[in-house]
C-alpha cells in the first residue's frame, strides 16, 4: 500500500479530522481503520496504519542504546487511534500541541505512512526546503 498526495482537512473543536474519502477504503481494507500517531522530528505528526507502525516499532526496538532518546520520542508519544463510523479520528491534545496543529491541517501521503502538518507550518517548511541546496541523491535522480 502506498499513500501519496496532500489533502487539506479541518481539525474540529474536539480535535478530530475527517479521513479523506480517497484513503478511507484503503485504510479500512489494510488496517480496519486502526492507526498509530506519534511525533516527528520534522515538527509534524506521523500517522501509521497499524501494520506499518508495528514494523517501524520493531526497527526502533532493535536500535542500539545510543538511540534511546529518539526511541523515547517515537515510542513515548505513540498513541493508537481508530477511524470512527463517521470517518473521523481523534488527534490527542498532547500530540496536537506538539505539532502546533490548529484548524487548518494537511494530511500528506508519504508511502506507507501519512504526515499531519499545521498548514502554515508546512508552508514555512516547504519554503525552507525549496530555498536550500538540492541533496546529491535528489540531483542524481532521473525525472
Q: For residue range 106-126, what is the model confidence (pLDDT) as tens digits?
A: 999 999 999 999 999 999 999
The pLDDT of residue 96 is above 80: yes
Q: Does residue 141 have a pLDDT over 90?
A: no
Q: Report the pLDDT value the prediction gives residue 1, as an integer from 0 to 100.
A: 83
Q: What's the CATH number where 81 sits?
A: 3.40.1550.20
Q: What is the mean pLDDT of the chain?
A: 96
pLDDT digits (tens, 9 = 90+) for 7-51: 999 999 999 999 999 999 999 999 999 999 999 999 999 999 999
Whole-number pLDDT of residue 68: 95
Burial-class residue 61 by CB neighbours within 10 Å (0-12, 13-18, 19+).
exposed
pLDDT at site 48: 98
Provide the domain count of the chain: 1
pLDDT at 52: 96
- The 3-class SS string of the chain reads CCEEEEEEEECCCCCEEECCHHHHHHHHHHHCCEEEEEECCCCCEEEEEHHHHHHHHHHHHCCCHHHHHHHHHHHHCCEEEECCCCCEEECCHHHHHHCCCCCEEEEEEEECCEEEEEHHHHHHHHHHHHHCCCCHHHHCCCC
**Where in the sequence is the domain holding 121, given as residue range(s)?**
3-139
Task: Answer yes or no: pTM beyond 0.75.
Answer: yes
pLDDT at residue number 143: 72
Task: Round to whole Å and give the CA distance between 104 and 116.
Answer: 10
Amino acid at each position: 500500500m502506498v499513500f501519496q498526495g496532500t489533502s487539506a482537512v479541518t481539525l474540529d473543536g474536539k480535535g478530530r479530522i475527517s479521513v479523506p474519502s480517497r484513503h478511507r477504503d484503503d485504510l479500512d481494507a489494510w488496517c480496519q481503520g486502526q492507526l498509530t500517531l506519534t511525533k516527528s522530528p520534522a515538527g509534524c505528526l506521523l500517522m501509521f496504519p497499524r501494520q506499518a507502525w508495528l514494523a517501524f516499532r520493531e526497527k526502533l526496538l532493535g536500535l542500539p542504546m545510543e538511540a534511546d532518546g529518539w526511541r523515547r520520542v517515537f515510542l513515548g508519544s505513540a498513541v493508537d487511534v481508530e477511524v470512527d463510523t463517521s470517518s473521523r479520528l481523534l488527534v490527542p491534545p498532547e500530540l496536537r500541541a506538539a505539532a502546533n496543529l490548529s484548524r487548518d491541517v494537511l494530511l500528506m501521503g508519504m508511502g506507507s505512512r501519512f504526515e499531519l502538518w499545521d498548514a502554515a507550518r508546512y508552508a514555512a517548511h516547504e519554503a525552507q526546503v525549496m530555498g536550500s541546496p538540492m541533496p546529491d541523491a535528489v540531483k542524481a535522480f532521473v525525472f
